[in-house]
Amino acid sequence: MFAANSQQKLDWKESMATGKLGLALSTREIMALVAKDLEQVEAEFRLESVGSVEAVSQIARYLQSNGGKRLRPILLLVSCRVFREPSPEAIRLAAVVELIHTATLVHDDVIDDAKTRRGKPSANVMWGNHTSVLAGDWLYMQAFQIALRLRNFEVLDLLITLTQQMVDGELLQLELIGKIDVNEADSMELIDRKTASLFAACTRLGAIAAGAPESEQVLLGEFGWNLGMAFQLVDDVLDFTSRESILGKPVGNDLREGKVTLPLIYALAEATAAERAKVGAVLRDGSYDNVSFDEILEILERHDGIAKARARALEFTAKARALLAKFPNTPARSALYAATDLVADRDR
């Protein structure tokens, strides 16, 4: 599908240079629009994550203070602002998506037996697997409780479908763990269910909260889906190219956990039997004790796996921007454009 040449790397570097030049301004542009809204979301999150059992409240507070970017609530709020200022309903829905996202983080860390989250001990390390799973369940149910108060069946239907998709994604990931013969279609389906579906829900919920016509709800949902696909692909690249101090977790962690992501899928398509054996050894061992991380990185670079995955991410951000062109040129639309740069050019 991709020619292994230097042009892809050049295109990515040029995109990165442009993004770096405007990244700080983009971040300020987005935050200027939603800073006051986010304060209300944070207050709502704190209020709604107080459980009758203290462990739930402790875990929620711990994760809330752990340095998340609040990208999903921001997407919902800015999407709402494409049409109007966020209403109290939009604020509550932004808290709902952050609660759902927080619940998925808790469950993911238990499933992956993760030790860190954003550079700090993960909830399962602090409170144990049993308590963390139940706290994640509670956060899911609390999110639906808030949504139920809105008495909006369209919102409930969207959130129920979203949760089913994300659970399907977790089950699919478990099926693929430890397998070396994962293909591009498998990877894309996994990203669709685990990440892109949540981004799509956020942007569509913003349009719903604003009372936008269904056609425009669909367009913003498609924008969010493409942005989510790009986000996860960049995340998969960063797992190999970033540093632990920036990423907040060990580099090369996906492969260590048995996950063959798109950069490696592309590289394995052209890898020699000896190279495939090295990747297989890491999958089997669950460590880089016998095959070093640098050896895996050399395989990726030799077969342009990282460059090809980056190019694929740029395809999705280009589609996201094309969808935005169908909306009037407003500060909110400009902020969503900036979000595509922010996603593509992030370092963690």
Judged against a pLDDT cut of 70, whether residue 290 lies above it is answered with yes
Which pLDDT value is given to residue 276? 97
> In this prediction, what percent of the chain has a pLDDT beyond 90?
66
pLDDT for the residue 209 = 96
pLDDT at residue 245, as a whole number:
56
Tell me the percentage of the chain whose pLDDT exceeds 70.
89
Please name each of the domains of the chain with its CATH number.
6-343 (1.10.600.10)
Element holding 117 (H helix, E strand) = strand 116-117
pLDDT level of residue 244 (50, 70, 90 thresholds):
low
Tell me: the pLDDT tens digits for 5-60? 334 333 433 333 334 434 444 677 778 888 899 999 999 988 888 877 888 888 88
pLDDT at 201 over 80: yes
Asked if 247 contacts 239 with a C-beta cutoff of 8 angstroms, the reply is yes
User: Residue range 323-329: average pLDDT?
Assistant: 94
Give the residue ranges of DSSP H helices in the chain: 6-48, 54-64, 71-81, 88-112, 123-127, 129-149, 153-176, 184-191, 197-209, 214-241, 244-247, 253-256, 262-268, 273-285, 293-302, 305-324, 331-344
Mean pLDDT value across residues 111-134: 86
- Transcribe 182-195 into DSSP letters: --HHHHHHHHIIII
Q: 147 with 96: CB under 8 angstroms? A: yes
Chain mean position to CA 59? 20
3-state secondary structure of 120: strand
Q: pLDDT class for 284, splitting at 50, 70, 90? A: very high
Give the pLDDT of residue 291: 96
Q: If you write DSSP's letter for every residue of 136-195 in order, what string do you get?
A: HHHHHHHHHHHHHHTT-HHHHHHHHHHHHHHHHHHHHHHHHTT-S---HHHHHHHHIIII
Query: Quick one: pLDDT at residue 6?
Result: 37
